[in-house]
Structure 1
Amino acid sequence: MSINRLRLNFTQAIEAYLHYAPRLPQVAADAVPAKTDYVDNLLSIADQFDLIVFDAFGVLNSGPTAIPGAVKTVATLQQMGKKLAVVTNDASSSAEAILGRHRKRGFDFNNENLISSQQFIAPMMNAYTDISHWGAMAPTFWPFDVLPDHVEPLGEDRALYDAVGGFVLIDSENWSDAQQKMLEESLAANPRPILVGNPDICAPMGDFLSVESGYFAHLAADACGVMPECVGKPYHHVFEEILRRNPGVDRERVLMVGDTVHTDVLGGLASGIKTLLVHQGGFLDGQDIEGVFARSGLRPHFCARAIGHGIDDEAKQTACCDA
């Protein structure tokens, strides 16, 4: 994932999540814990769980660098025999590329651990049997051959926006205000399906929050009244795949670990699994955590500064460049 993206500050990001909350998965009131237990780190509660699911950005890494303590924490969990999964809404990269970046940071993950929203995009498109020509929010180098039908990247040609039968919003790298205006105008004149491969509104990139495809999808929906169809956290596809891959694990023994309330915590609660929110180095770093809980009507079962807070990695964290 590149850092060549538009940016939001925290206030803008949280206001967007709150504003668009009615479009996100809904959680029954009795699924939200009455209180949050504040813990030192993930290892302090690891014995309660057999399967631990990690968001990547803001939990394992912030931008290109591993968060301190995360590498050693993951390695310790693996030594304990815990089942691990890594879920990502980074639909811009292949599984091999994502795993390669994690290995450079010091994590030992494999294909069985990784679940990416990219794998759900083609099935979502296949449901639209009447559409054979799609316009994509994605850079020209994106591997369009993994998708069905005829898919063209949206650029500066307004005619293409009007010609396609639907839109697939995958990767907001280099997406401009001019392109967004053309998308909204085209949809307002002729509403069509809006499919979203990365429903995140923003992502922590070290010292800033990058604007992601989900943000632009909601603006497009505002312009035309078409509800975006999304895959990735917090939507059910990811969590169903996690449980499918681990049929012997009791749902009560599964923990979702993330850094955002409206993606990671919401997705976990909606799927009936326990949740741990971390807030150091991620989306909520330095923010009023309880205030966010109160405003959103959501809260996790557990909260910690970081999964490896107070745990020193034995080796220096390795920075890597996201391709």
Structure 2
Amino acid sequence: MASCKKVSALQKEQIQAWFESFDTVMTDCDGVLWTGSEAIPGSPEIINRFRALGKRVFYVTNNSTKHRREYKDKVDKLGFGGDLEDIIGTAYLAATYLEDTGFDKTKKVYVVGSSGITQEFLVWFFQPDPDGHVELGNHGHLKLDSEVTAVIAAMDLHISFSKLLKAASYLSRPGSLFLATNTDAQFPVKGKEIVVPGTGSMVAAVSTAAGRDPIILGKPNKLMFEIVQRRHPGVVPERTLMIGDRADTDILLGKNCGLQTLMVGTGVHSFEKVEEWESSSDPEHTRLIPDMYIDRLGDLLDLVSHL
């Protein structure tokens, strides 16, 4: 039966052995490092402590609304540091997937998404008109681009009937490629009685209209880690620590790739939830149990002061 250890309950020798067991850190961002525009106390310091101890740190996020340059500005402003190549987002994954699979650069990609996606596409993209309006039964005037052979579905605050119509039409073409950045159902909003739809709702709309399923790029699917490995051949699964606040994306990515996992309690899932999974007989719940848990990532600072 899988079980999770609380880092705070470990002895100094156990913490040292744990820290010596990984060379690479992959960390989710929102809910782990920051909330909105504010760093979670202690998180910048522990990220820099990881580096001081010789560990490579990668920021991995399912958020496709920002280009890596925007994330670079944020991590610098909040004191986390790192290089542009340390940032792995789903907008970057989409462009990298097309590059690595030899997508024809004379063709175009239709994007149901934001500028975070299109800024990663230096050669191929076809940006939909955000204000397009179509009356049902009166869509014959719409012109489809003959060069579009792929569709990417991502977070789109301006999703519309027009975009769904175009995306589904392009996906009806033989051989067309259908990618989705991720399928997160909601954005967590603590303390407010509102539900913020996530990318998964946009992807489901396009998928339903098209009658086909996409290739999903983001967590918990393996591509995010595989990209890190391809760009940095020295990265070894069993010596990589995946840190996250959400079990069904962050921790499951770690499980899917054979990584060590650490959950923090500053985001979506709590230790109480982990305990529920530990007592469950459902094998799917077992896969969500992290190896380690800590209330807040910054709490590691005092625990590793002796290293």
Report TM bin, short chain: 0.7 to 0.9
Query: Paired residue for 2:273?
Result: 288
Amino acid aligned to 1:109: G
Question: CA-to-partner distance for each residue in 1:100-136, whole Å, 9 max, x for gaps?
Answer: 1111112111123222222232354465659934432
Alpha carbons of 1:214 and 1:79: their partners in 2 closer, same or farther (altered >3 Å)?
A: same
Q: Distance in 1 between matches of 2:178 and 2:79?
A: 37
Equivalent positions of 1:173-184 (< 5 A) are 173-175=157-159, 178=161, 182=165
Equivalent residues in 2 for 1:228-239, closer than 5 Å: 228-239=214-225
The alpha carbon displacement at 1:198 in A equals: 4.2
Q: CA offsets per residue over residues 297-320 of structure 1, 9 Å max, x none?
A: 2222112222113759xxxxxxxx
SS of corresponding position for 1:252: helix
SS of alignment partner, residue 146 of structure 1: coil
Matches within 5 A, 1:232-247: 232-247=218-233
Distance 1:116 1:232 in 2: 8
Equivalent pairs: percent with the same residue? 25
Which structure has more RCO (C-alpha within 8 Å, separation ≥ 6)?
1
C-alpha contact 2:245 2:263 (8 A) present in aligned 1: yes
- Is structure 2 residue 291 aligned with structure 1 residue 306? no
1:320 corresponds in structure 2 to none
Contact kept in structure 2, 1:194 and 1:217, CA below 8 Å: no
Question: Are 2:189 and 1:217 equivalent residues in the alignment?
Answer: no
Letter in 2 for 1:234: P
1:94-243 equivalence runs, <5 A = 94-125=67-98, 129=104, 132-139=107-114, 143=118, 146-155=121-130, 156-158=132-134, 159=139, 165-175=149-159, 178=161, 182=165, 193-204=177-188, 210-243=196-229
Aligned partner of residue 35 in structure 1, secondary structure: coil
Greater Rg by CA: 2
Opposite residue 263 of structure 2, the aligned amino acid is L
Distance in 1 of aligned mates of 2:9 and 2:209:
43
- CA, structure 1 residues 61+205, in 2 after alignment: closer, same or farther (shift >3 Å)? farther
Return the alpha-carbon distance in structure 2 between the equivalents of residues 41 and 81 of structure 1: 25
Within the candidate set 276, 290, 299, 2:262 is matched to: 276
Letter in 1 for 2:181: G
Deviation at 1:92, TM superposition (A): 2.5
Distance in 2, matches of 1:37 and 1:286, equals 10
Long gaps (5+) in structure 2: 303-307
* Distance in 1 (alpha carbons) for counterparts of 2:202 and 2:74: 26
In structure 2, relative to structure 1, the CA distance for the partners of 1:101 and 1:133 (3 Å cut) is same
Q: Which moved more, 1:41-50 or 1:217-226?
A: 41-50
Q: C-alpha distance in 1, partners of 2:50/2:154?
A: 32
Residue 236 to residue 129, structure 1, CA distance change in 2 (3 Å) = same
Structure 1 spans left out of the alignment, 5+ residues: 1-32, 313-323
User: Between Structure 1 and Structure 2, how many residues are aligned?
Assistant: 278
Question: Please, what TM-score do these two structures have when normalized by structure 2?
Answer: 0.74
Q: Whole-Å Cα distance in 1 between the matches of residues 293 and 272 of structure 2?
A: 13
Alpha-carbon distance between aligned partners in 2 of 1:41 and 1:305, rounded to the nearest angstrom: 12
| Distance change in 2, residues 1:77/1:285 (3 Å) | same
- CA drift at 1:206: 6.5
TM-score, length basis structure 1: 0.71
**In structure 1, the residue corresponding to 2:85 is in which secondary structure?**
coil
